[in-house]
Structure 1
Amino acid sequence: MNAQFDSIQVAESNSTADGLSKNLQESLHRAQQYAEENELDFTGSIPPTEAWSLVEQGYAVLVDVRTNEERKFVGYVPESIHVAWATGTSFNRNPRFLKELDSKVGKDKTILLLCRSGKRSALAATAAYSAGFAQVYNVLEGFEGDLNEQQQRNQQNGWRTHQLPWLQD
């Protein structure tokens, strides 16, 4: 995996000329360091605010891997693409996930995966990285964040607590 990281770092240094700001480049580098330190089997993990900066400036694609039901009843990020990692209320693994991700986004993009808490998106990132998606990142904290002491989400971290854009139909 280190050879993969080396090629990503070279791509990042070249991308500064293409307009990737130093701050965004540093965000990706920190995400990759996080992956190395935690022995992750994908490119890296990135905090929600940094993920949004990358999406907002057009340097990454945000892919929501939650179920249709979660998106409908809890909310979603308006600029996100939906490719469910699991489906239905029983969370059955989507056997078409990698094919759908490839057809909707492509393997050549920088992809940020978002789920409820950052756990399913990490599993999806591992599968995508193994399938040849070289620039796939997990969004830490997820959309709703971790459970607090009262077993409630949306209280201590997550996309929504950072006041990042989201909608609910």
Structure 2
Amino acid sequence: MIEDVAPRQVWEALMSNPAATLCDVRTNAEWSFVGLPDLTQTGKQPVLIQWQIFPSMQPNGKFLEALAQANLELSDHLYFICRSGGRSLAAAKAAKAAGYKHVYNVKDGFEGPQDARGHRGTVAGWKSEGLPWKQG
């Protein structure tokens, strides 16, 4: 089972644990047009690996290979984030099955669910929590 971790707790882990890494599994279009978590204060950069390839949204058959090439240790604490928590949960499960021991899903992702007006980023998630981020 993969634990959902609130964005603020993820931020605290990134600040305090040298073995903590944020893995953003959204698409390159989302990174460019929606924005990225800004980890400057942590002294780290997010690991960017698409779970699905834009624009076809086909599964990334090289996801685990790319994760291995990111110089992550099997004992590192990996926090997976996507738009709202679905793709990141699937990516976390794949990482766990590949032998990574400490994998977590960022609850509500980067933008969270839609609000009453159909907008994301206002109800829950990384942006809603007021955590650092930057536009592509």
Residue in 2 that maps onto 1:54: 13
Aligned residues: 128
How far the C-alpha of 1:77 sits from its partner, in A, is 1.3
- SS where residue 161 of structure 1 aligns? coil
TM-score by length of 2: 0.88
Call closer, same or farther: CA 1:126–1:138 in 2, change over 3 Å: same
- Separation in 1, partners of 2:19, 2:4: 16
Aligned residue type for 2:65: K
Residue 74 of structure 1 pairs with residue 46 of structure 2: no
- Separation in 2, partners of 1:122, 1:94: 15
How far the C-alpha of 1:163 sits from its partner, in A, is 0.7
Residue in 1 that maps onto 2:67: 101
- Separation in 2, partners of 1:151, 1:87: 24
How far the C-alpha of 1:45 sits from its partner, in A, is 1.5
Structure 1 portions without partners, runs of 5+? 1-39
- SS where residue 98 of structure 1 aligns? helix
Residue in 2 that maps onto 1:128: 95
TM-score by length of 1: 0.72
Task: Give the structure with higher Rg (CA).
Answer: 1
- Separation in 1, partners of 2:34, 2:55: 13
- Separation in 1, partners of 2:75, 2:135: 30
Query: What is the Cα-based RMSD across aligned positions, in Å?
Result: 1.2
Give runs of ≥4 in structure 1 deviating > 2 Å. Answer: none
Structure 2 portions without partners, runs of 5+? 39-44
More helix by share: 1
